[in-house]
């Protein structure tokens, strides 16, 4: 390997709140000559890079013009071969539905040294900011992460939603904003109860966070007016399972809420004490 070859860091920027960025990620940004970043990375996080750094946006947004993955990989290799220290900055965690593994494999094949810097995933942080624990001794001892968006050129069988439906007590669905009705129907068809609570969290951990609640049946069969009112666009993450009921008692972060109707309370906290935002929640969506 040439001694003048640079290095690539595959860095998770976290879900949106810049306070959730790790120390390791901040240190990588301070060393970078080039920051190749996703569209959803906040300006506050980008500002942590050293003065004079070169920023290259390569964001991917559903339905909008996006950089090709092959072009992103070629860019990383080319800049590292030129001797640059490159941070590939991704929302959430680079190895949780972030294509970080594909980039790592390409860098290895090209002889480029690289390191992974894990990030806080929206799959855990989003529910936490919505007042929803993914596990609870009384309600859930298992969690499953699944994506609703698969590659057309995948080299494996498609997701078996019948298996997913009952594989875990809590299911976290990534990249499903535009397929909520289809996902809900698939889970019900696979044996998940239609009364199972669902929360969809949009712009998780940011001041613009929105949380939509209902049941699988609501999202699968809601009226045309309900579906029109929802209009949930990415980025969003969905949580399916009884732990969603705990939001009524554990909610601490002020967000905008839309609901099909109140979920049955759990009485999970013996003291009866609750934590709620000090500001009223508006039912209106932007």
Instruction: Please report, for the domain that includes residue 220, its CATH number.
Output: 3.30.950.10
pLDDT of 3 > 80? The answer is no
pLDDT digits (tens, 9 = 90+) for 77-134: 999 999 999 999 999 999 999 999 999 999 999 999 999 999 999 999 999 999 999 9
Q: What pLDDT, on the 0 to 100 scale, is given for residue 272?
A: 34
Q: Is the pTM of this model over 0.85?
A: yes
Same-domain pairing of 26 and 84: yes
Q: State whether 116 and 127 are in the same domain.
A: no
Give dist(CA 123, CA 191) in Å, integer. Answer: 23
Annotation marks residue 68 as catalytic: no
Beta bridge partners of 198: 214, 240
**How many degrees, rounded to 5, is the angle at CA 226 between CA 225 and CA 227?**
90
CA distance 111 to 239: 40
Within this chain, do residues 128 and 113 fall inside the same structural domain, yes or no? no
130 and 46 inside one domain: no
Query: Higher confidence at residue 39 or residue 64?
Result: 39
Which contacts of 219-223 are long-range, i.e. CB under 8 A and separated by 24 or more positions?
A: 219/180, 219/181, 219/183, 219/184, 220/181, 220/184, 220/185, 220/188, 220/194, 222/181, 222/260
Identify whether 264 is part of a domain: no
In a domain, 159, yes or no: yes
- The CATH code of the domain that includes 86 is 3.40.1010.10
**DSSP single-letter state for residue 95:** T
4: annotated active-site residue: no
Range of the domain at 234: 123-259
Which range has the worst mean pLDDT, 7-11, 32-36, 74-78, 227-231? Answer: 227-231
Single out the catalytic residue among 175, 218, 242, 250: 175
Active-site annotation holds for 38: yes
- 224-246: per-residue pLDDT in tens? 566 555 678 999 999 999 999 99
Total structural domains in the chain?
2
Catalytic hit among 38, 93, 218, 242: 38
């Amino acid at each position: 390997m040439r001694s003048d070859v640079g290095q690539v860091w595959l860095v998770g920027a976290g879900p949106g709140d810049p306070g959730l960025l790790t120390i390791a990620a901040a240190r990588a940004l301070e060393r970078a000559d080039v920051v190749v970043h996703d569209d959803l990375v906040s300006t506050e996080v980008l500002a942590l890079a050293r003065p004079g750094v070169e920023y290259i946006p390569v964001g991917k947004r559903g339905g909008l013009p996006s950089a090709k993955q092959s072009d992103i990989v070629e860019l990383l290799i080319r800049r590292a071969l030129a001797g640059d220290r490159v941070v590939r900055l991704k929302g959430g965690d680079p190895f949780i539905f972030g294509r970080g593994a594909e980039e790592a494999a390409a860098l290895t094949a090209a002889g480029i040294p690289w390191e992974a810097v894990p990030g806080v995933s929206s799959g855990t942080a989003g529910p936490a900011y919505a007042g929803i624990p993914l596990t609870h001794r009384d309600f859930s001892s298992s969690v499953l992460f699944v994506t609703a968006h698969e590659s057309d050129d995948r080299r494996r069988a498609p997701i078996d939603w019948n298996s997913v439906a009952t594989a875990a007590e809590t299911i976290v669905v990534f990249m499903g904003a535009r397929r909520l009705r289809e996902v809900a129907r698939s889970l019900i068809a696979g044996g998940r109860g239609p009364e199972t609570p669902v929360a969809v969290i949009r712009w998780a951990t940011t001041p613009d966070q929105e949380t939509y609640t209902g049941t699988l049946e609501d999202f699968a069969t809601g009226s045309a007016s309900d579906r029109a009112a929802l209009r949930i666009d990415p980025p969003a993450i969905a949580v399916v399972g009884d732990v969603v009921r705990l939001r009524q008692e554990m909610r601490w972060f002020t967000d905008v809420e839309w609901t099909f109707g109140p979920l049955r309370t759990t009485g999970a906290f013996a003291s009866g004490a609750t934590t709620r935002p000090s500001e009223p929640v508006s039912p209106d969506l932007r």
